[in-house]
Amino acid sequence: MDLKNKILQTPTGKKLLSEYQLNLLTKNNIETVLDFHDAENQKLHNLLAIKLESVLEIKKELDMLPWQSETFVETVNELDFGTGIEELDKFLDSIAQPFRRGRVWEVCGQTGVGKTQLMYTLALNFVWKHKRQVLFIDTKQDFSTKRIQDMLMERKVDQETSEKAMADIHVVEVLTSEELIEVLKAFDQQMTDDVQAALKTKVVVVDSLAACFVDHRGREMRRTRDSLLTEVACRVRKLAVRGVAFVIGNISFSQDSDNCDDDGLEDGNSDGSTRQPNKPMLGSYWSSVCTLRLSLELPESTDCGDSCDDDGLRMVNVMTNTYGPAGDTCLLRITDAGLV
């Protein structure tokens, strides 16, 4: 199906765009959904004479349309991946955000709360259940093969299954945002070239995005950071259109909400009067990229610092949700077998 018909299937595109505007896309060599996602938002804003917010909305709505590979057809049941965490899957169904093709999730949380443990669990559950591959992008250079092996041992998995699961989690280390962009570009090209390993990779985990931008903090670096974030977002969206799901880690922090810029840096006007807990890093632009933003937190009843033992209980809070309600929560627990 061509781009014009796809856009007319979206509520925003059908409402705002005329035949003339749609033909302008073709005249400017924007002929496929991938071309549309790869085009700069400002360019589409100028070309179509619609608001930037409308451009972003059309891109999000295109993500929601049924996806079909050009090289092979999946069954309907394979559209919904599931997380393999029973309580989390029930919760996600209730907020209209089941883990499925093309979803872009962000998992936020303070350092040490268990974000990496959740991402290990999601990656392992996926390769175990679907016999497909996961691309795990490690920006912190601390991926723990032993932790994955321990999780498999705790689940009493036989050696052959364990080795297969380990092999299906393909770990790539990156240090900078530029390296991350190159990895995503290479993955996209491999899919275009019908490389079977790439076609079998249905989930990308990034642990964590914030680590790629440690050298881009502060007001003077914001323009460079936002430019690189835009490029990352374009690469993520392009792959999401091709049916790849993303789970992206990010760091959050407590701050004086009225006295910090969007990097979490104080502006010198702090009076200690207002606190905004768990604000994710990377600013307002990045907050619009993901279809679901989750915060992993210690429940209030156990948030007692060093004065009590950690029982592994964690609260998942929905911060933003493209397809359903936000603000809901569910409880999970970190165990030797992963999060349950």
Q: What percent of the chain has pLDDT over 90?
A: 54
Specify if 69 maps to a domain.
no
Specify if 194 maps to a domain.
yes
Separation CA 213–CA 216 (nearest Å):
5
User: Both 53 and 143 in a single domain?
Assistant: no
Residue 54 has pLDDT above 70, yes or no: yes
Mean pLDDT, range 136-158, rounded to an integer: 94
Total count of domains within the chain: 2
Predicted confidence band at 258 (pLDDT cuts at 50, 70, 90)? very low
Domain that holds residue 31: 3-64
- The distance from CA 165 to its chain's CA centroid, rounded to whole angstroms, is 22
Residue 319 has pLDDT above 90, yes or no: yes
Separation CA 140–CA 333 (nearest Å):
24
Mean pLDDT, range 173-190, rounded to an integer: 96
Residue 307 has pLDDT above 80, yes or no: no
Across the chain, what does the average pLDDT equal? Answer: 85
User: Both 257 and 212 in a single domain?
Assistant: yes
Whole-number pLDDT of residue 271 = 43
Q: What is the DSSP letter of 236?
A: H
User: Both 258 and 210 in a single domain?
Assistant: yes
Q: 136: which strand partners?
A: 171, 205
Residues 78-108 pLDDT 10s:
567 899 999 999 999 999 889 988 899 999 9
Most confident of 31-40, 111-120, 154-163: 111-120
- The distance from CA 248 to its chain's CA centroid, rounded to whole angstroms, is 4
Specify if 105 maps to a domain.
yes
Separation CA 179–CA 182 (nearest Å):
5
Specify if 147 maps to a domain.
yes
What is the model's pTM?
A: 0.74
Mean pLDDT, range 275-302, rounded to an integer: 82
Specify if 96 maps to a domain.
yes
Mean pLDDT, range 184-206, rounded to an integer: 93
User: End of a domain among 64, 88, 112?
Assistant: 64
Residue 24 has pLDDT above 50, yes or no: yes
Least confident of 55-59, 214-218, 249-253, 285-289: 214-218
Residue 266 has pLDDT above 80, yes or no: no
User: Both 59 and 92 in a single domain?
Assistant: no
Residues 226-243 pLDDT 10s:
889 989 999 999 999 888
Specify if 134 maps to a domain.
yes
User: End of a domain among 64, 96, 113?
Assistant: 64
Specify if 71 maps to a domain.
no
Separation CA 2–CA 132 (nearest Å):
29
Residue of higher predicted confidence among 305 and 223: 223
Q: Are the C-beta atoms of 158 and 134 separated by less than 8 Å?
A: no
Q: Are the C-beta atoms of 181 and 228 separated by less than 8 Å?
A: yes
User: Both 32 and 93 in a single domain?
Assistant: no
Whole-number pLDDT of residue 316 = 97
User: Both 124 and 271 in a single domain?
Assistant: yes
Separation CA 185–CA 236 (nearest Å):
9
User: End of a domain among 12, 30, 64?
Assistant: 64
Whole-number pLDDT of residue 282 = 86
User: Both 89 and 117 in a single domain?
Assistant: yes
Predicted confidence band at 273 (pLDDT cuts at 50, 70, 90)? very low
Kindly compute the dihedral angle of the four CA atoms of residues 103, 29, 57, 252, in this order, to the nearest 10 degrees. 50
Residues 59-78 pLDDT 10s:
878 877 765 444 333 433 45
User: Both 306 and 176 in a single domain?
Assistant: yes
User: Both 246 and 223 in a single domain?
Assistant: yes
User: Both 323 and 174 in a single domain?
Assistant: yes
User: Both 302 and 215 in a single domain?
Assistant: yes
Angle at 111 between CA 273 and CA 339, to 5 degrees: 120
Predicted confidence band at 274 (pLDDT cuts at 50, 70, 90)? very low
Task: Using alpha carbons, select from 207, 188, 206 the residue that is nearest to residue 198.
Answer: 188
Indicate which CATH number applies to the domain containing 212: 3.40.50.300
Q: What is the DSSP letter of 306?
A: G
Contacts of 264-272 with C-beta under 8 Å, sequence gap 24+, read: 265/217, 265/218, 265/219
User: Both 54 and 82 in a single domain?
Assistant: no
Specify if 220 maps to a domain.
yes
